[in-house]
Amino acid sequence: MADSQTRLSGFRLRHGELRAILIIGDLLVSYISLFIGMYFWAAGDLWYKFSFEFIRVRVPFWFYLLPFAWLILMVELYDIPRASNLRKTLSSISIAALSGVLLYALIYMISRKGSLPRTGVGAFLLANSVLALFWRIGFIRLFTASRLMRRVLIIGAGKAGQTLVRAYQSLTPTPFDLIGYIDDDPEKNGTLIEGYPVLASSDQLLEVLENEHISDLVIAITGEMRGSTFQSILDAQEMGVDVTRMPKMYEEIINRVPIHHLESDWIVRSFVDEARTSGFYELGKRIIDLISGLIGLLFFIGTLPIVALAILLDDGLPIFYSQDRLGKGGRPFRIFKYRTMFKDAEKDGQPQTAIEHDPRITRLGSLLRRSRIDEIPQIINILSGEMSMVGPRAEREEWVRHFQKEIPFYRARLLVKPGLTGWAQVNYGYTATVEDTGIKLEYDLYYIKHRSLLLDLVIILRTVGTVLRLRGR
């Protein structure tokens, strides 16, 4: 039994293995597209044609780096749940292609005339977009097929297990085959919980693993665990079954932290042991902030007369809006934005959160918010070091005091600088309730725990897509 179970478990690919397949496939497709680009470039150059001489003389070294640039533009599609969704795949490839065109157009405008090959780059982007779409469709059909998906069993049908099931059910397509629960409560045995059966008690765990061909166990027991249950889990692990804690699986499938189902020492483990960043990351992040801040400053200065005039004609003065917010470590600073609400939007002086279709937002303000143009003045805060390009949303002190009483770990979001954009901002909408705010905090804590230059890049690219689709909030 052990040998067959090990072979079965090893055949089903994990997220890391799927991600490696995606990277290799994208790189292969990109280099095929590179030669397509060179072919059309050479076709327009009658002297060289497409030959070794053309490649040796005409093609600069940087042209061979285009596939790696494409991988960077596609970086958000290395999130497996997102890569398994056809609609999100199509959207992300479109955004990557459009971002590539805009970036190349910017470089082309500031380059010496005739120094860059428009035909070659254009053909590369077009071919890569088409071939990448076909390759990704093939990936979705092959690697999300049920026979290749992990078969998962949850140990514990209590609140933690049910929370994981609800998160699983929210995904389309689902990232694995969920078979059911194991639970030692005799009243739950044989019942359906959140639509999935409680198959047996932990005493029968090994039998269930064999009968159901289970590849993964998720431990969702928050209280004390029986010694016999622990031994059964160890036996399962020896058989080749992967064993994962519920918070880790929750993070893996929906990129959030389950704040209501964490052990008491989680905050110390996650933010002291696991989430420490290197000096290289901090330096790289500050360099990104300065470069993007200077580019943003040029955009801010260039568009200021137009936006200011539009606000003036729509609702008069003032043009800007400022407010005290809390930064890293709870230090207060003043944030700057274009005004998008009617004057005296908080007449009684009581803080109010913005909601979807907020009646306080002006006609122009709605457009400024959807395009994220209202956030551009915060470039000043980024250059001064009070904010970063990426981080949790800067919040008012009144709301921080209120929510830290209602939501576990809320103040942990102040461990890093607030950001112009962030993981919560690109994944979730308006927060009208404490529950909504808790979900946004789960995204913020996931970012703080996993922050890296690569994740920052993913968020920035996702933000570009939000702006282009006018889906800002």
Residues forming beta bridges with residue 395, ordered by sequence position:
326
Q: Is the pLDDT score of 274 beyond 60?
A: no
CA 406/CA 409 separation, integer angstroms? 10
Residue 4: predicted pLDDT? 44
CA 218/CA 205 separation, integer angstroms? 13
CA 314/CA 305 separation, integer angstroms? 14
Residue 156: predicted pLDDT? 93
The bridge status of strand 242-245 relative to strand 320-326 is unpaired
Question: What are the residue ranges spanned by the domains of the chain?
Answer: 2-143, 150-254, 279-468
Greater model confidence, 202 or 472: 202
CA 24/CA 20 separation, integer angstroms? 6
When pLDDT is cut at 50, 70 and 90, the band that residue 355 belongs to is: low
Which residue is listed with tokens 């055949």?
Answer: 11
Average pLDDT over every residue of 287-309: 92
List of residues 6+ apart from 39 with CB closer than 8 A: 50, 123
Average pLDDT, the chain: 86
Residue 421: predicted pLDDT? 93
Two tokens, residue 118: 């428009």
Residue 287: predicted pLDDT? 94
Do 472 and 370 meet the contact criterion of CB atoms below 8 Å apart? yes
Two tokens, residue 379: 């470039």
Which residue is listed with tokens 């070659």?
Answer: 120
CA 79/CA 253 separation, integer angstroms? 9
In b/e form, how buried is each residue of 216-232, taking b as 16+ CB within 10 angstroms?
bbbbbbeeeeeeebeeb
Other C-beta atoms within 10 Å of 88: how many? 16
- ∠ at Cα 96 (95, 98), nearest 5°? 65
Two tokens, residue 154: 């949850």
E strand or H helix at 183, and its extent? none
In b/e form, how buried is each residue of 153-166, taking b as 16+ CB within 10 angstroms?
bbbbbbebbbbbbe
CA 391/CA 419 separation, integer angstroms? 4
Other C-beta atoms within 10 Å of 48: how many? 18
**184 φ/ψ angles, rounded to the nearest 5 degrees:** -85, 0
CA 349/CA 352 separation, integer angstroms? 9
E strand or H helix at 460, and its extent? helix 453-468
Residue 146: predicted pLDDT? 63
User: 405-432: per-residue pLDDT in tens?
Assistant: 999 889 989 989 999 999 999 888 777 7
Which among 416, 420, 415 is positioned nearest to 380, based on CA atoms?
Answer: 420
Q: Where would I find the H helices in 179-278?
A: 205-212, 227-238, 246-254, 266-268
For 33, the 3-state DSSP assignment is helix
CA 29/CA 128 separation, integer angstroms? 7
Other C-beta atoms within 10 Å of 435: how many? 10
E strand or H helix at 133, and its extent? helix 118-143
Question: Yes or no: is domain 150-254 CATH 3.40.50.720?
Answer: yes
Q: How many residues does the chain have?
A: 473
CA 398/CA 370 separation, integer angstroms? 26
When pLDDT is cut at 50, 70 and 90, the band that residue 85 belongs to is: confident
Q: What is the DSSP string of 183-210?
A: ---TTTTT-EETTEEEEE-GGGHHHHHH
**362 φ/ψ angles, rounded to the nearest 5 degrees:** -75, 170
Residue 18: predicted pLDDT? 86
Residue 49: predicted pLDDT? 61
